[in-house]
């Protein structure tokens, strides 16, 4: 069970941004307290569970490779997922066709572009899984899908 937790948390941290992970953990603490109090089927517990299942777990898919050693010692060898936030080509400023230029090193505000790009990708994932509807009457405007 512990190994499944390690692998799942590795995927969560690789796929979601810091704010989503923080909210996920806060909700987990609240849900744990409600479980301890025997209130698993109360409305607030149901809302917390649905939030985690719907907005966090839906995007989690992939493979985590662990190397196990004696005792409780392990090493995470590799993490693969089509939804990972990390893309090496987005993080370098050395290539000519990079999203950023050396001038972007000035100020932290320009780094928000990565978070906005990641959020846009998550909205695409949620649309593909049927969580969000795109079209007439939708609160989500149609975005270009650059992956196709």
Read off the pLDDT of residues 107-144 as tens digits, 9 standing for 90 and up: 555 555 667 777 788 888 888 887 777 665 555 555 55
Residues whose CB falls within 8 Å of the CB of residue 39, separated by 6 or more in sequence, listed in order: 45
Domain boundaries, the chain: 1-81, 87-148
Q: What is the pLDDT of residue 97?
A: 59
Split at pLDDT 50, 70, 90, the class of 33 is: very high
As its CATH architecture, domain 1-81 has: Alpha-Beta Complex (3.90)
0.75 surpassed by pTM: no
Instruction: Output Rg (C-alpha) for the chain, integer angstroms.
Output: 19
pLDDT band at 94 (very low <50, low <70, confident <90, very high): low
Average the pLDDT over 24-36 and give the result.
95
Please state, in angstroms and rounded to a whole number, the distance separating the CA atoms of residues 32 and 23: 14
Structure token pair of residue 29: 């603490």
**Architecture label for domain 87-148:** Orthogonal Bundle (1.10)
Assess contact for 13 and 21: CB atoms under 8 A: yes
The whole-number pLDDT of residue 93 equals 53
Evaluate the CA torsion angle 39, 44, 47, 48 in order and state its sign.
Answer: negative
Q: What is the rounded CA–CA span in Å between residue 122 and residue 106?
A: 27
pLDDT digits (tens, 9 = 90+) for 40-81: 998 899 999 999 998 899 999 999 999 999 888 999 999 999
Side-chain half-sphere of 143: how many Cα atoms within 13 Å? 19
Residue 126: per-residue pLDDT: 81
Q: In whole angstroms, give the CA distance from residue 72 to residue 68.
A: 8
Write down the pLDDT at residue 85.
83
């Amino acid at each position: 069970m512990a190994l499944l937790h390690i692998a799942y948390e590795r995927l969560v941290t690789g796929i979601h941004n810091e704010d989503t992970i923080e909210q996920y953990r806060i909700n987990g603490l609240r849900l744990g307290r409600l479980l301890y109090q025997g209130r698993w089927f109360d409305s607030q517990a149901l809302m917390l569970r649905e939030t985690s299942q719907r907005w966090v777990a839906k995007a989690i898919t992939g493979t985590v490779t662990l190397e196990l050693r004696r005792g409780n010692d392990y090493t995470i060898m590799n993490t693969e997922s089509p939804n990972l936030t990390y893309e090496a080509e987005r993080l370098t400023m050395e290539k000519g066709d990079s999203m950023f230029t050396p001038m972007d090193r000035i100020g932290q505000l320009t780094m928000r572009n990565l978070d906005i790009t990641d959020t846009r990708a998550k909205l695409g994932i949620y649309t593909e899984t049927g969580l969000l509807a795109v079209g007439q009457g939708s609160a989500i405007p149609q975005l270009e899908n650059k992956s196709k």
